[in-house]
Amino acid sequence: MLSRLSPRLLSSSPRLLSSSIRTLVNVTYPSPSVAVLELDRPPVNSLSLEMATSITSHIKQIESDPQIRSLILTSSNPKIFSAGLDITEMSRPSKTRLSTFWRSIQSLFLTLYSTRLSTISCITGHSPAGGCLLSMSCDYRVMSRNPKLGIGLNETRLGIAAPFWLKDLFVKTVGYREAELGLSRGKLYSPEEALKIGLVDEIVDGEVYDVAVERAEEYAEIPEKGIVATKRMCRGELVRDLEGKIEEDVGWFTDFILEEGTQKGIEGYLKSLSKK
Ligand SMILES: CCCCC/C=C\CCC/C=C/CC(=O)SCCNC(=O)CCNC(=O)[C@H](O)C(C)(C)COP(=O)(O)OP(=O)(O)OC[C@H]1O[C@@H](n2cnc3c(N)ncnc32)[C@H](O)[C@@H]1OP(=O)(O)O
């Protein structure tokens, strides 16, 4: 039923849809060439299997409308863009669910990173780990100036390492040395710091959403052929690298997560989060 609805219909009745089918995202259209995909999985927009699958399928639906040229990715929660992977997916999971979960994350990354659409990440709140992955997969990042917010890859702080393709994406975004420093220290950057190293492109004092729409409209005026060829040139190598190693990467992830030591660490981390 969902797949038969056009993206425009989806936008005209997001409330109706979310009451009947839990889509976990809302899609709206602020102008004829721009779509907005709002993450809407309370409390923290963490990426479960269902959430990742829903984002991916909505991006594909939006992409299939030739009138749409730009996509804004944002959050319904003004304080949190996304808390990254849903850690409960990794706590005592079955091997089958865990590999399907990881495939959904790989597929979300590949879809968002290589879409023909120009993508703007509108970061109003915290964006750690997988949240930072979503933002870095976009073409342009606008963030609220709030100094209390953090964006970055904090995996080492959890006793884990980012997968090779997330590390490569970080290197491509901020450069080798800054990536090595940021990854090994598990650093979450304030908006000012993120701007300085190129992790975000712009920080905004007022309404960050309005600036995101402006940028999306600017991108929509650039000829699509040029944009698509440029994205392919800049991003093709990383896409091909991951596509060639999908199974190896699934194996790495599932082996690592299912180790008893990792499971104990995940349990402890979940407890510390819910005790706050
Ligand atoms: C831990 C080991 C993971 C193993 C992974 C191994 C290899 C994978 C390598 C691949 C890369 C992984 C990248 C990731 O994305 S891992 C996830 C990293 N994310 C985080 O560390 C963020 C954790 N969350 C926070 O720091 C904060 O929640 C916050 C986003 C800053 C928001 O703070 P606040 O507004 O104060 O909200 P609470 O902290 O009270 O949270 C509310 C509620 O939500 C639960 N929760 C928070 N984050 C997650 C999450 N990522 N997954 C699942 N659930 C989450 C939290 O437990 C609270 O639940 P209760 O209300 O039930 O207590």
Give the pLDDT mean for 240-264: 96
pLDDT tens-digit profile of 100-143? 999 999 999 999 999 999 999 999 999 999 999 999 999 999 99
Residue nearest to atom 48 of ligand 1 (CA): 83
pLDDT tens-digit profile of 20-76? 457 899 999 999 999 999 999 999 999 999 999 999 999 999 999 999 999 999 999
Q: Is the dihedral of CA 165, 169, 175, 178 positive or negative?
A: negative
Distance 238 CA to ligand 1 centre (A): 27
Structural domains of the chain ordered from first start: 7-275 (3.90.226.10)
What gap in Å lies between CA 77 and CA 44, rounded to an integer? Answer: 8
Is 85 an active-site residue?
yes
What gap in Å lies between CA 254 and CA 94, rounded to an integer? Answer: 10
Mention every residue, 6+ apart, whose C-beta is less than 8 A from residue 155. Answer: 129, 161, 162, 183, 186
Instruction: Name the band, by pLDDT with cuts 50, 70 and 90, for residue 275.
Output: confident
Cα distances from 105 to residues 5, 46, 143, 196, 213, in angstroms, run: 25, 12, 23, 28, 26
Distance 228 CA to ligand 1 centre (A): 34
Question: Quick one: pLDDT at residue 16?
Answer: 40
Largest Cα span, the chain: 52
pLDDT tens-digit profile of 196-212? 999 999 999 999 999 99
Q: What tokens were used for 97?
A: 């669910």
Query: Is pLDDT above 80 for 276?
Result: no
Strands 188-189 vs 151-152: parallel, antiparallel or unpaired: antiparallel
- Cβ 75 under 6 angstroms from ligand 1: no
224 near 69, Cβ under 8 Å? yes
- Cβ 208 under 6 angstroms from ligand 1: no
Residue nearest to atom 5 of ligand 1 (CA): 160
- Cβ 128 under 6 angstroms from ligand 1: yes
Residue nearest to atom 10 of ligand 1 (CA): 162
Q: What tokens were used for 213?
A: 């729409």
Is 155 an active-site residue?
yes
Mention every residue, 6+ apart, whose C-beta is less than 8 A from residue 46. Answer: 82, 83, 84, 85, 86, 87, 130
**Is 0.90 surpassed by the pTM of this model?**
yes
What gap in Å lies between CA 20 and CA 180, rounded to an integer? Answer: 45
- Cβ 85 under 6 angstroms from ligand 1: yes
Residue nearest to atom 58 of ligand 1 (CA): 274
- Cβ 6 under 6 angstroms from ligand 1: no
The one catalytic residue in 154, 169, 186, 199 is: 154
The one catalytic residue in 38, 89, 155, 178 is: 155
> What dihedral angle (degrees, nearest 10) is formed by the CA atoms of 184, 190, 192, 197?
20
Burial of 89 (0-12, 13-18, 19+ CB in 10 A): buried
pLDDT tens-digit profile of 138-182? 999 999 999 999 999 999 988 888 999 999 999 999 999 999 999
- Cβ 98 under 6 angstroms from ligand 1: no
Query: Is pLDDT above 70 for 1?
Result: no
Nearest-atom index, ligand 1, CA of 159: 2
Residue nearest to atom 8 of ligand 1 (CA): 162
- Cβ 93 under 6 angstroms from ligand 1: no
Site to probe by mutation for ligand 1, drawn from 76, 160, 273, 274 as the one with most ligand atoms within 8 Å of Cβ, is 273
Q: What is the ipTM of this complex?
A: 0.95
Question: Quick one: pLDDT at residue 274?
Answer: 83
What gap in Å lies between CA 104 and CA 107, rounded to an integer? Answer: 5
- Cβ 131 under 6 angstroms from ligand 1: no
